[in-house]
Amino acid sequence: MKALIVDDEARVRKAVRLLVDWEVHQIEEILEAGSGNEAMGLIRKEKPALVIMDMMMESGNGLELMSWVDEFAGNTKFVVVSGHDDFDFVRQTVRHGGIDYILKPIEAEMINNAVSKAVSAWRAEEEERNHRQRQSLRLNEIKPIYGEKLLSALIDDKVNAEASLRRLIHDGIIPQDIRTSRLILLQTDSGNNPLLRRFGGDSELMYYAIVNICNEFLQSQRKGIAFRYWGGPPEIAIILWDLEESVTGLISRMNQGLYLTLQFRMHFGISTAGEFPGQLPAGRAEAAEALLRRNLLRHEDYCHFSPAEPAAGLVPDGQRSGKPGTAAPLNFADVQEDWRLAVISGTPEALSAAAHYWTQELSRRGVVTPQMLNAWKADAMLLRSRLVRAALGSQADSVLAELEQQDRQNPSPQPGGYSFSLFAWRDWSFTFMQQLSQMLSARHRNEQNIVAEIIKYIEQNYASDLSLQEIAGKFQVSREYVSRRFKQEYGINFSDYIVSVRIEKAKLLLPNPGLKLAQISEMVGFHDVKYFSKVFKKHTGLSPKDYRGRMEP
């Protein structure tokens, strides 16, 4: 078993090492971290069973670390050591599953008692997890999906719903006398997430385990049935026909079972009660909407009711009145200019400030929903596209493709994930802006180099028949790109720039009395002396002959 000590003071870490009787607690390896950020890296790599941490640190404070552990390392137990006797800190510790809150100076007996409780809790939960997983995997092996598809048809297949219902009743999957029901959806994440990794990336096995755990609480007393819904994106649905029992009480017990087995609690979207099976399609839409509108800042809420029915005395998430600090929701337009300036600046300070202000304002205003975060992501992508296209024109598509590739390597947190961390969103937004800034800066430097090379080439070959097509081909850029860059840099188009170079070269040759105008015209790239004279006068206000006369002593 491993333990991690997190404190920004080395002397405190040393004191904890000396005070804890590690051998008695059967802890073989003790790690140290000087900040919350460093601790996250060690927890990812070493997976300690116990973390002893300070609440206040300069880099990555204790609250952020606890929130992160709750989301990404839920089976890790932690004990908080702090010099602050603050009730809110104690409350946060309890909320995030902390075992104990110890005040400095640290006493040996208190910290050893706390470590003993944490180790015992970790071992008990580990044994329970192993037992339940073995039990779940033995339950009928993998159930045939036929019954699940019949249940799904009640929701999304009006043509076959009646036939499906008859077969479900005949097979004893649901009772015959159901008249009303609720439709409940469990929040499930797609893609790479901590829960999926517990099942080796096998999503089918993950869904099977969750459904079986839920059915342990439903089927024994015939309250309802949980199943994999096959009518759209991967979802787990529950048809609840026992409407006498408190739905929040039932879900609380289910969540406790899920936590003991998987170390995760799920979010449940709950529809209003309606006619069975006719109202199931509308019920699914209500439950999905409830999950999209849940307030992610209320970590302790796992039951999310349809906005149409504030159930059990609850007001829908995000609409509670009288909550301190609640203000109008933050829109992306409120910070768009901050993000744009931070990207243009490119400094770590500006990028960090923009990312920090965004998440700070989200927290201050008191409401963050998956629906809002999805809209924010879409607006952020739109801003990125506009900035890239404004800066790079026809070259923008290739840059946007590169940035999309980086998005896959640095995905955002799931807007509707199992838990929510402002720290994770702040980290993502910083990286998102930083990558965009670096890409634009690199392309700008490359563009500057290309323009400089084109200018050098023109200086060396101005007497030749230079064309926009030739230059574009030689430097492997589009004609539009060359034209646009010359307009941006010099305020004139490409052909006018070449003419201006030729005129300047002609000015240098005209004072030489040994050169005829026809020779000078040919030397600077004009093959018609009359045309040369016309262009020269247009640019200088004088004919070549008059200009030469002024230059003579």
CB 387 within 8 A of CB 341: no
Mean pLDDT, rounded, for 322-328: 49
* Bond before 105 cis per omega within 30 degrees: yes
Percent of the chain residues past pLDDT 90, beyond the cut: 26
Please report which helix (H) or strand (E) contains residue 503, including its range.
helix 494-509
What pLDDT shows up at residue 299? 79
At 66-104, the pLDDT tens digits run 777 766 666 788 788 877 665 555 555 555 556 777 777
pLDDT beyond 80 at 311: no
pLDDT of 221 over the 90 cut = no
Label each residue of 9-22 as H, E or C: CHHHHHHHHHHCCC
Residue 204 has pLDDT above 80, yes or no: yes
pLDDT digits (tens, 9 = 90+) for 115-150: 898 888 888 887 877 666 555 544 444 445 778 889
The runs of H, that is alpha helices, within 393-493 are 396-409, 422-461, 468-474, 479-490
Q: In Å, how far from its chain's centre is CA 311? A: 32
Tell me how far apart the alpha carbons of residues 522 and 35 are, in angstroms, rounded to a whole number.
Answer: 73
Q: Write the DSSP string, 149-189.
A: HHHHHHHH-TTTHHHHHHHHHHTTSS-TT--EEEEEEE---
pLDDT in the model for residue 82: 76
Q: What would the pLDDT profile of 452-492 be if each residue is shown by its tens digit?
A: 788 888 888 888 888 888 888 887 777 887 888 788 778 88
For the ranges 52-61, 191-200, 351-360, the one whose mean pLDDT is highest: 351-360
pLDDT band at 385 (very low <50, low <70, confident <90, very high): very high
The pLDDT score that the predictor gives to residue 424 is 87
pLDDT at 511 over 50: yes
Averaged pLDDT of the chain: 82
Q: Where are the alpha helices (DSSP H) in 5-107?
A: 10-19, 36-46, 62-72, 87-95
Q: What is the mean pLDDT of residues 156-181?
A: 90
Residue 219's SS3 state is coil
Rounded Cα distance between 342 and 265, Å, is 37
Give me the pLDDT at residue 318, please.
41
